[in-house]
Chains A and B, each alone.
Chain A
Amino acid sequence: MSRLPDLPLQTVLDLLREFDYSEMRRNDRYLHLKHIDDSIVITIPNRTKVHGAILRSALCQGGIPEKVFIEGLKGIIPVFGKESVIAHVDILGFKSLLTEAKKSESKFDEVLNHYHSALRSAFSSIKSMTERRHKFNWRRICHVRVYTDNLLFISELENQTEGEPDFGRALDEIAMYQLELAIRGYFVRGGIVLERCYCDEVTVFSPALADAEGIEKNAYFPRIILESSAKEKLLRYLEWYRAPAFCHFADTIIIDPDGTWFINYLYVLRWFSDDMMDMMERHGEKLPVSEGPYFPAAISDLHLHRDHIRKRLAEFKDNPAIFRKYLWLACYHNWFCSTYFSEDGDAEISDVGTTLTFESCFAAKSEVNHNN
């Protein structure tokens, strides 16, 4: 648990007043505050400075959530940046979406609602995960900001095991967000960097933002790539694992034939889900998992993903620059289907005319070892 700051007594009293606590009585050693409804008493030492541990004790006595209290402290105490996972992504085709919305009032509402529901659903998918994280440690928050076609994810890394669990979780959240948008027809491209960052509800501050546009342009295709800082960190983590089966990143991050590392967001469809639990309950001991990975909801999402790509390929067949991007996406989709959902022959996009083979980031670890 992180340490709370030492604060001047008067500041503590002012802040506690906002939670309906007022001074009840004080002597030379102690000060008692009572709640407006007389139900709770907080006792703290009557000293000019309140020690962080005593502040935490006061909040516990008063049943005041630390997170809420600390929000009130911002602006009073200095804030600090932390090494964070920063993902800057943009939504492909956003400008044409705006042009479409401009056509008429009804079109505006239609486009807005479709876009809004996609973002809302993508946000809800990671919200539950973020809330769970808040329960254990309020400081580790994955912030998501959306402005025009830009999405910004920020997730702080804790010091434990060099931030590996947080790094993994941040990648999972980004993958979930990307998948939710993709199955609603919004494809994104962007990059992930590791940089010092501070973020709260009023500000986002990080040197990484200076080159945000460059980060997303490096991706070129609809994918979220790992920039060198994130890649180096991941390579460091990979060193800790002997086999890919024990390494969470082995399937989450894959390498394009052009050498770019990116998030294998469709892999989210293979996560253990409620859908699988239902299947297991229905089939009893004869688990479908043992027969082959076939999960209805995942398959229908995969088909949605396939249909959106098909639609885009047809839409941009006369625009080579954009067509190329969706062609790459079709190759990625097909590779994923053949690797992870080979039972479903219907999921692949036919007539793509080309194939790409991606490999697990774990393979890069072996190469590094070999070269060494």
Chain B
Amino acid sequence: MTLNDEKSMDRLSDSEAIDRVFNDLIWISKDADCFVAVDYLTHMAEVGSTETEAVENLKQAIREHISAVKSILEQMRDFDRAFREEYGR
């Protein structure tokens, strides 16, 4: 698969894409009784009792975040479409 291969990229689910894109950007540190995982691309952070748990929680948080952003974008698109239909071109 190459980066230009759109079809191959389409086959990736959100979670697979997150795994591929974010793995190298996650930074883990120990804080008192927990581990903190921070993603430097989205600035998101999550905690967990182990490193793996912190990373898994972070990936889940990123997925949730992306879905929230998507839903806002859809709302905006719907609003834009409705506005155009209402007031014509």
Contact = CB atoms under 8 A, between A and B. Distances in A.
Contacts, number: 54
Contacts of B38: 53, 57
A61 B43 contact: yes
B51 to A, nearest CB: 14
25 contacts: A24-B68, A27-B64, A29-B60, A30-B61, A32-B68, A38-B75, A41-B72, A43-B44, A43-B61, A43-B64, A43-B65, A45-B46, A45-B57, A45-B61, A51-B31, A51-B34, A51-B36, A51-B47, A52-B31, A53-B31, A53-B36, A53-B38, A54-B47, A61-B42, A61-B44
B26 to A, nearest CB: 12
Interface string B30-54: 0100101010001111110000000
Contacts of A43: 44, 61, 64-65, 68
A34 B73 CA distance: 12
A98 interface: no
Contacts of B68: 24-25, 32, 34, 41, 43
Contact of A29 (B34, B64, B75, B76): B64
Interface string A31-69: 010100010010101000001111011001100000000
Contact of A41 (B34, B36, B65): B65
Contacts of B75: 38
A43 B71 CA distance: 13
Contacts of A61: 42-44
Contacts of B36: 51, 53
Contact of A54 (B45, B60, B76): B45
Contact of B72 (A3, A34, A52): A34
Interface residues of A, number: 20
Contacts of B76: 38
A283 B45 CA distance: 54
B69 interface: yes
Among A30, A34, A38, A53, the one with the most B-chain Cβ atoms within 10 Å of its Cβ is: A53
Contact of A32 (B42, B45, B47, B65): B65
Contacts of A32: 64-65, 68
Give the 10 A-B residue pairs with the shortest CB-CB distance, closest first. A60-B43, A57-B45, A43-B65, A32-B68, A53-B36, A30-B64, A53-B45, A54-B45, A41-B68, A61-B43
A56 B40 CA distance: 12
A3 B29 CA distance: 12
